[in-house]
Structure 1
């Protein structure tokens, strides 16, 4: 899959001491854009390796689909950081690193002598990024600092679940894991920002990212409505306050989304639906009236969209009004847009016969493009290779394996 051009972060080495999703996603973003990301795993590995989905022919020896989706483009070294020798090996890696990303519970690495204050004495230019549910003390010590957190916890406290769903009695979390991946994106941004500062000053720093803060940062409607008007916004389905026609509408074979709120878009929608009379109807004559009477307007639109299939509506609306069918997984894989944008590249998956698709790189750089260069690594797949780069000889590596300080795996 490799191209001639290299990623913008080529030459940057990142130590990835993360597990589950938020931290690995951050490190993967850096790897996608060319950083040499070394995933430092305990001897038993990241527990996310055991998460599915699996194909029917997969012997489940290596890792499942979720691990593949957030650990591609990385190398893996497996160390026992609880042992003195393991920590010594890790310190050697720190000397070669530009950045470190971790998402352990607060103070776990401090207790091992591997916290930021310890490591910056060894490598003053090191950028040290942590992703935790409620952050660390650098950005302001939360009373919840030691609480565990998952995606749904971040969405609940950060404001998303309080405005998502049909009504306030049935809050719904946003699908997938944005309570993890959004913090991962912010952490990647913070890491690159700090790397730029370190490049010009030689001084590293601590990057403190909280999952809950990251969700709140994208809850602009929640904050602005309460800050300006002391209104706590409630869930309102798929509508958006003060905007109509905006929301989801039935098709013969599924559901579509439409956002035709301004007059030119709305008028085009009415014409395409064969309902020009809705343009001049007094209840729908302008944006204010369309919102005031949005339930009645939605019923009028639904009467017409429900007579057409998603494919027919796509042919009718495409390029004329803001709209999309609500895609299933199968439809995403079939759509020519995602193929043209290389958003479903295929990689090898150990233990299965056929390559598998992973989410592609959404940020397209013209001169230093990111890309999916390699599959996720086996546990300790690159242990010997990385230690050899540090100057260890084959005999020394064998002794470390015998002493169970390290682990190495191959296909």
Structure 2
């Protein structure tokens, strides 16, 4: 049984590249009708990142509008008049030039909300990509320290896109209860800072707050005994995450190494993190990966193989399922550029024509009375 909680919701998608496209992909998975408005030439994701368009823009319709021209802006406002949420991630000055402002959205449809994704909500004209926003938020120092390279995972692109979905759903719910749209701004840098809030609190509690933003502080906060990756005898990697006492006791008992037993008391273990992890590294290196996975299964411990990038066939078609675990929306393939332009514009024209006819009928009935 499919689960489409946003069925009937119309999203006007002006998002670009990974953060814009991923946010509206999730909305499409939740059942929203997503109409992707692209400039002539298309969303840059089609050209810049091979394969990404095909994944990120599934389940959407593609309409090409030139928002630099009056005709394109008029067509956009027609779309907004029937929409529930507009999503965009332009710099603010670019949005203003293209007429994508909350004032314009509100004039076209007071119930429609605008959700704007910015690199920095306090400096909305500032350009930024995942790498630079990770750097400024402090997140980059936590998981990447190799100068001259960039992290493989665009963490804040994906995290901010997910927060954008929350903002869209919240705005749509508010419109239901109040009849009014909203303008919500999601800052990628704010998302990064929010993620780091837990670590900043930990740093403050440990008295190392001034180090938390740099590699030294990041390592100090992240180091835990029996919480890391270890190389096995057959040159594979296994992740072990046995920090809670009940997991730690079961791990120590399963390994039955007398040197490790000396650290069975969690307080003693936590007072010798580096020593425990060096000892664990030697123990793990003495057995093949299969042995450690078997210990994980038999003792119900959080132990897992460190795998490489999965194939597309291994990635779930949707993130959302019902309580019965049945799949959610099966999305249509990503659209060709502009493939739905004519159909959507004809649909809007038919709606306008129908509304005009209804208004004439109401007027004639009024005159008859």
Q: TM-score range by the shorter chain?
A: 0.7 to 0.9
- Asked if 1:45 is matched to 2:32, the reply is no
The residue aligned with 1:382 is 340
Q: Which residue in the other structure is 1:266 paired with?
A: 248
Structure 2 distance, partners of 1:164, 1:172, is: 12
Q: What does residue 339 of structure 1 align with? A: none
> Alpha carbons of 1:65 and 1:382: their partners in 2 closer, same or farther (altered >3 Å)?
same
- Larger Rg, first or second structure (1 or 2): 2
Secondary structure of the residue aligned to 1:94 is helix
Structure number with the higher helix fraction is 2
Aligned-partner Cα distance in 2 for 1:115–1:151: 24
1:312 aligned residue: 291
Local SS of the residue matching 1:218: helix
Aligned to 2:102: 116
Secondary structure of residue in 2 paired with 1:155: helix
| Secondary structure, counterpart of 2:17 in structure 1 | coil
- 1:110-140 Cα offsets, whole Å, 9 max, x none, are 22333111120120011100101002xxxxx
Residue 362 (str. 1) matches residue 343 (str. 2): no
Say how many residue pairs are matched. Answer: 344
Corresponding residue for 2:130? Answer: 151
SS of equivalent to 1:249: strand
Q: Do structure 1's residue 190 and structure 2's residue 178 form an aligned pair?
A: no
8 A Cα contact 1:161 1:172, kept in partner? no
The alpha-carbon distance between structure 1 residues 165 and 21, as it changes in their structure 2 partners (threshold 3 A), is: closer
Deviation of 1:227 (Å) = 4.8
Once residues 9 and 154 of structure 2 are traced to their aligned partners in structure 1, the CA distance between those partners, rounded to angstroms, is: 27
Give the match for residue 214 of structure 1: 191
Instruction: Give the Cα separation in 2 of the matches to 1:171 and 1:269.
Output: 39
> 1: distance between equivalents of 2:85 and 2:336?
22
CA RMSD of aligned residues (A): 2.6
Alignment gaps of 5+ in structure 1: 53-63, 136-141, 334-343, 347-356, 394-411
For normalisation by structure 2, the TM-score amounts to 0.85
CA distance in 2, matches of 1:121, 1:83: 19
Scaled by the length of structure 1, the TM-score of the pair is 0.77
Q: Secondary structure at the match of 1:219?
A: helix
Residue pair 1:171, 1:235 contacting (<8 A) in 2 also: no
The aligned residue for residue 236 of structure 2 is 254
Distance change >3 Å, CA 173–CA 15, structure 1 → 2: same
Give the SS at the match of 2:215.
coil
Whole-Å Cα distance in 2 between the matches of residues 300 and 226 of structure 1? 26
Q: CA deviation at 1:16?
A: 0.4
String of CA shifts for 1:198-254, please: whole Å, max 9, x gaps: 011110000100111011111134321455544432436878557312111111232
Question: Does structure 1 conserve the Cα–Cα contact (< 8 Å) formed by 2:78 and 2:108?
Answer: no
Write the distance in 1 (CA, Å) between the matches of 2:98 and 2:178. 29
Instruction: Please list every run of 5 or more consecutive structure 2 residues that lacks an aligned counterpart in the other structure.
Output: 352-369
